[in-house]
């Protein structure tokens, strides 16, 4: 069985980050180790939450892994909240990444704006971290900030391709833009693999709704697919379909909760797809 480690925060209540990564990747049939960067009572869409920073624990935990001779088949990072965490994760890649696939979801922005607390300087440092990745999964906003590019809502295929090429020139072997849409009612990803020079994309139904945590769900499903032997385009296509299924299950639930999607109800679909 493959073993991955995912490095990001955990909310005690709220379907995002480690709260979804751990069950989704585990359901995919992959051992999932975690390195929490912070503990929150609830995620930040709640009107009140507590926050405990675990930055000081990252190096001691990493040291212990190394002393025990533990290794990983993949390292997957999500939300990282400070320059210090970027440095520590970069060091983690150097220590454990030689034989591991490195997947980075550079969670820091959306809809043309950086999240609260982030700056263009942080985006530049995130770009440096992404240089060590086998695959990065930015949305359009995150890609633009890492490249120092002005965000635009209107774009065509040639523009997306140019962004992807520039992202890989930062050092990442592969870059996939998430949330790409060229026509009404369709959304998906666009991937450029610099090791082969090939592009690929996949689109499915775009629903008239948005929910917290779907980016984390997409990345987690993609990592699970990769560790089960899917190639990069197929793993990302699976992630598109699984995220859509999660949203459909949520929209069909009259008692749905505001803070995330019903990914638990969609897990059988993920398992079935990976067994084919």
Residues 245, 164: Cα–Cα separation, whole Å: 27
Between the alpha carbon of residue 218 and those of residues 104, 199, 237, the distances in Å are 12, 19, 10
Residues 199, 165: Cα–Cα separation, whole Å: 10
State which fold the 81-275 domain adopts: 3.40.1190
Query: Cα-flanking dihedrals φ and ψ of residue 239, to 5°?
Result: -65, -40
Residues 141, 79: Cα–Cα separation, whole Å: 15
Between the alpha carbon of residue 91 and those of residues 52, 61, 176, 246, the distances in Å are 22, 13, 24, 35
Residues 193, 50: Cα–Cα separation, whole Å: 40
Give the count of alpha carbons within 13 A of 166, CB side only. 16
Listing DSSP states for 223-266 in one string gives: HHHHHTT--HHHHHHHHHHHHHHHHHHHHT-TT--TTS--HHHH
pLDDT value of residue 276: 78
pLDDT value of residue 79: 96
| Torsion region of 229: left, alpha or beta (phi above 0 gives left; psi -120 to 50 gives alpha) | left
Residue 184: how many CB atoms within 10 A of its CB? 7
pLDDT value of residue 150: 95
Q: In terms of residues, how long is the chain?
A: 276
* Average pLDDT by stretches of 10, the chain with 276 residues: 97 97 98 98 95 98 98 98 98 97 98 95 98 98 97 96 98 98 97 98 97 97 98 98 98 96 98 93
Residues 260, 19: Cα–Cα separation, whole Å: 11
């Amino acid at each position: 069985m493959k073993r991955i480690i995912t490095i990001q925060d955990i909310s005690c209540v709220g379907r995002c980050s480690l709260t979804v990564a751990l069950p989704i990747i585990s359901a995919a049939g992959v051992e999932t180790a975690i390195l929490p960067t912070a503990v929150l009572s609830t995620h930040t869409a709640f009107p009140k939450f507590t926050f405990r920073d675990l930055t000081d624990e990252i190096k001691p935990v990493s040291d212990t892994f190394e002393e025990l001779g533990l290794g990983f088949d993949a390292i997957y990072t999500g939300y990282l909240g400070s320059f210090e965490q970027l440095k520590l994760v970069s060091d983690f890649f150097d220590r454990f990444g030689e034989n591991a696939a490195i997947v980075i979801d550079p969670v820091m922005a959306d809809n043309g704006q950086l999240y609260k607390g982030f700056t263009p300087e942080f985006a530049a440092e995130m770009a440096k971290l992404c240089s060590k990745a086998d695959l990065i999964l930015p949305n359009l906003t995150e890609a633009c900030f890492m490249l120092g590019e002005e965000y635009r809502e209107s774009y065509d295929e040639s523009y997306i391709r140019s962004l992807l090429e520039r992202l890989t020139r930062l050092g990442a072997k592969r870059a996939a833009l998430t949330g790409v849409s060229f026509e009404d009612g369709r959304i998906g990803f666009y991937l450029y693999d610099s090791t082969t020079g090939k592009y690929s994309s996949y689109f499915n139904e775009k629903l008239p709704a948005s929910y917290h945590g779907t980016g984390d769900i997409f990345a987690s499903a993609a990592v699970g697919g990769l560790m089960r032997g899917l190639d990069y385009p197929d793993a990302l296509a699976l992630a598109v379909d699984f995220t859509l299924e999660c949203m459909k299950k949520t929209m069909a639930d009259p008692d749905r909760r505001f803070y995330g999607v019903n990914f638990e109800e969609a897990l059988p679909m993920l398992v079935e797809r990976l067994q084919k």
